[in-house]
Structure 1
Amino acid sequence: MRIVDIREVTAPIASAIANAYIDFSKMTLSLVAVVTDVVRDGRPVVGYGFNSNGRYGQGGLIRERFAPRLMEADPKTLLNDQGDNLDPDRIWATLMKNEKPGGHGERSVAVGTIDMAVWDAVAKIAGKPLFRLLAERHGREADPRVFVYAAGGYYHPGKGVEQLRAEMRGYLDRGYNVVKMKIGNGLAEDRPRIEGVLKELDGKAQLAVDANGRLNLEDAIAYARMLRDYPLFWYEEAGDPLDYALQAALAEFYPGAMATGENLFSHQDARNLLRYGGMRPDRDWLQFDCALSYGLCEYERTLKVLQVAGWSPSRCIPHGGHQMSLNIAAGLGLGGNESYPDLFQPYGGFPDGVRVEDGHITMPELPGIGFDGKSALIKVMRALAE
């Protein structure tokens, strides 16, 4: 049993949308295929992975540094003790060989992308959905019902309050009961947008708002004073993700739930957030995204950090809107997952036929991460592998 090839392609997911910090007109991602010599149903087992939106494709790092390390390794060192499957932790250690500590930037995305593909292959070789494999490995009971919220509400040229309301109405019609919109361009612009959406929701769903790290402390506090008058689901990433002092100061002005973590890429960063960021385990939410932060192997270490700090994994709702995090949520008891009903296709969303009901989806019983159940996505993936 061995990995016979690792392939990567950098693909566009460009859109005219913008948040308060960046636009997505040049956005790309890396799609990776880890090809094995294991055969199931007459086809070689191939694991697939890709990185989340908001960080660009990592083709250079994958092709020049990380893929060669795996291909040069003794295949036996990448297997589990029984020799009947790949070992994700041993593969992760091989990927990170000769990497200095710290520097959790672009390389965390490259490794996270490959790690996703490895876990997909491992679960396929085992003949199980990844969420059930994870639950078994951790001695848990898998829960295939997962909370999801609809992320949207981006800034867009010519998009006014009425268009924003129509977008949110569409999410309600599709079964969501929590929706999210972007803020951060200024109180004068955002107040009517927020109030318009709340009027549209009319108590049928909750609203979360996301500043994407745009605000300084003064502006973050000004927003907090406005936002605390609204019944929001959370106030997300007000300031720079590494400005823990800013995050901690907000708790004095905003008694409601806050959320952050999508731009922290290691268990060490997660630990620092919990130590110094003033996050409150009884109400706040953590958004670490395995696809951007070295993958599931590192995410398991992050969950241990949370446990030591007295946090429940149910306070985690990852960023990214991908099926990998859905499997982690169902297998390891996270609080749910982000979703992008209309954006970043075909990579976002759920397998065909999966519907949102009362803000939840039910995981299908598909081997691996479940990419084979999403026809538009698996077509693109197989084109890379075959």
Structure 2
Amino acid sequence: MRIIDIREVTKPIASPIRNAYIDFSKMTASLVAVVTDVERDGRRVVGYGFNSNGRYGQGGLIRERFRDRILDADPDTLRNDAGDNLDPHRIWAAMMQNEKPGGHGERSVAVGTIDMAVWDAVAKIEGKPLFRLLAERKGAEADPRVFVYAAGGYYYPGKDNTALRQEMRSYVGRGYTVVKMKIGGASLDEDQRRIDAVLEEIGDEAQLAVDANGRFDLETAIAYAKMLRQYPLFWYEEIGDPLDYQLQAAMADFYPGPMATGENLFSHQDARNLIRHGGMRPDRDWLQFDCALSYGLVEYLRTLEVLETLGWSPRRCIPHGGHQMSLNIAAGLGLGGNESYPDLFQPYGGFPDGVRVEDGHITMPDLPGIGFEGKSDLISVMRDLAE
């Protein structure tokens, strides 16, 4: 049993949308296939992975560093003790040889993309959905019902408040009970009018979260907080620079409602520093670490251990990214839920065919691995790379 190839292709996921910081007109993503010599049901087992939106494809790093470290390793060192499956932790260690600590930047995305594909392969070799495999390894029972919220509300050329209302209404109509919109890409007054329009549209059928994408300095963050605290928001997200823990800590004095951050923190050390110095409140705030951007599930397990030692429940974690990997982690490890992009970043976002949102939740299907084979538009792209 061994990995015989790792393939990468960089794909466009471009869209004429923008948030407070970037536009997505040139956005790309890396798609990876980890090809094994194992066969199940007459087909070679291939694990698939891709990086989350908002960070560009990492083909250079994957091909020049991390791929060859795995392929050059002794296959015996990449298997579990029983020798009947691959070991994601040992494969991760092989990838990270000769890498200095710190400076997580882009390499965390490259490693996280390969790690996703490795876990997909491991669960397929076991013949189990990844979420059930994770729960078994934890000694717990998986809950296939996962909370999801609809992320959207981007700035778009020519998009007025009527179109914004229609977008949010469509999410509520599809079963979501929490919807999210962008702020910080317009003036405070204009953003307030946008928020008022959405709240008038959704009424008491759903809650609204807002996301500043790290745009604000302290003065602007406080001004928005004073405006936002009149509303019953689900959360106020990524207020300032993700590494400005002092700014984040200061916001607790001005915003009593729930806050959320973490999607641009890429290691368990960064997560630990956020909890130590960012003033996050475990009774109401939310953590959005995304395994696909932060060295993968192997590292995410370390992050969960750090959170536990600091008094945080995994239920306070709702990962960024809107992908099926985090859905499996949420179901298998008891997270609070997952982000969802109902209309964006396809075919990578969303759920397997036939999965529907009901009362803000989806139910995970029993598909081997991460479940990519259940999403017809996505698996066709993946198999083009592998086969």
Q: What's the TM-score bracket when you normalise by the shorter of the two chains?
A: over 0.9
Tell me what 1:255 maps to: 256
Moved more, 121-130 or 186-195: 186-195
User: Which residue of 1 is the match for residue 176 of structure 2?
Assistant: 176
Partner of 1:219: 220
Q: How many Å separate the matches in 2 of 1:350 and 1:208?
A: 21
Q: Which residue of 2 is the match for residue 155 of structure 1?
A: 155
The TM-score, its normalising length taken from structure 1, stands at 1.00
Partner of 1:110: 110
Q: Deviations over 1:57-85 (max 9, x none)?
A: 00000000000000000001000000000
- Which residue of the partner structure matches residue 145 of structure 2? 145
- Post-superposition Cα deviations, 1:14-64, rounded to whole Å, max 9, x if no partner, equal 000000100000000000000000001111100000000000000000000
Aligned residue type for 1:267: H
Question: What is the aligned partner in structure 2 of residue 66 from structure 1?
Answer: 66
Alpha-carbon distance in 1 for matches of 2:366, 2:312: 30
**Alignment partner of 2:234: what SS?**
strand
Unaligned residue ranges in structure 1 (runs of 5+)? none
* 2-structure distance, mates of 1:272, 1:104: 14
Secondary structure at 1:105 match in 2 = coil
Indicate the SS of the match to 1:100: coil
> Structure 2 counterpart of 1:97, which letter?
Q
- Is the counterpart of residue 122 in structure 1 residue 122 in structure 2? yes
Counterpart residue identity of residue 365, structure 1: D
Could you say which residue in structure 2 is the equivalent of 1:306?
307
Give the root-mean-square deviation of aligned CA atoms.
Answer: 0.3
What letter matches 2:314 in structure 1? P
1:349: which partner in 2?
350
- Match of 2:235, SS state, is strand
Query: What are the superposed Cα offsets for residues 203-249 of structure 1, whole Å, 9 maximum, x if unpaired?
Result: 11000000000000000000000000001000000100000000000
Question: What amino acid sits opposite 1:106 in the alignment?
Answer: E
SS across alignment from 2:348: coil
What whole-Å deviation, never above 9, does each CA across 1:93-123 have from its counterpart, x for those lacking one? 0000010000110000000000000000000
Give matches, 1:197-346, under 5 Å.
197-346=198-347
Query: 3-state DSSP class of the match of 1:367?
Result: coil
Distance 2:232 2:245 in 1: 25
- Work out the CA distance in 1 between the residues paired with 2:316 and 2:301: 15
Question: Which residue does 1:21 correspond to in 2?
Answer: 21
Deviations 1:158-178 (A, max 9, x none): 001010000000000000000
Paired letter, 2:340: S
Q: Give the C-alpha shift of residue 302 in structure 1.
A: 0.1
1:6 aligned partner = 6
Provide TM-score, normalisation by structure 2. 1.00
The alpha carbon displacement at 1:188 in A equals 1.6
Indicate the percent of aligned positions where both proteins have the same amino acid.
82
Q: How does 1:75-114 map to 2 (within 5 A)?
A: 75-114=75-114
Quote how far apart the aligned CAs of 1:140 are. Answer: 1.0
Please report how far the alpha carbon of residue 189 of structure 1 lies from its aligned counterpart in structure 2 after TM superposition.
1.4
Distance 1:195 1:60 in 2: 44
* Aligned residue type for 2:45: V
Runs of 4 or more, structure 1, over 6 Å off, are none
Shift of 1:186: 2.1
Give me the whole-angstrom Cα distance separating, in 2, the residues matched to 1:238 and 1:274.
16
In structure 1, what residue type is equivalent to 2:216?
A: L
Name the count of aligned residue pairs. 386
Q: Deviations over 1:176-217 (max 9, x none)?
A: 000000000220210100000000011110000000000000
SS at match of 1:297: helix
Q: Matches of 1:230 and 1:363 in 2, distance apart?
A: 33
Q: Unaligned stretches of 5+ in structure 2?
A: none
2: distance between equivalents of 1:188 and 1:354?
A: 39
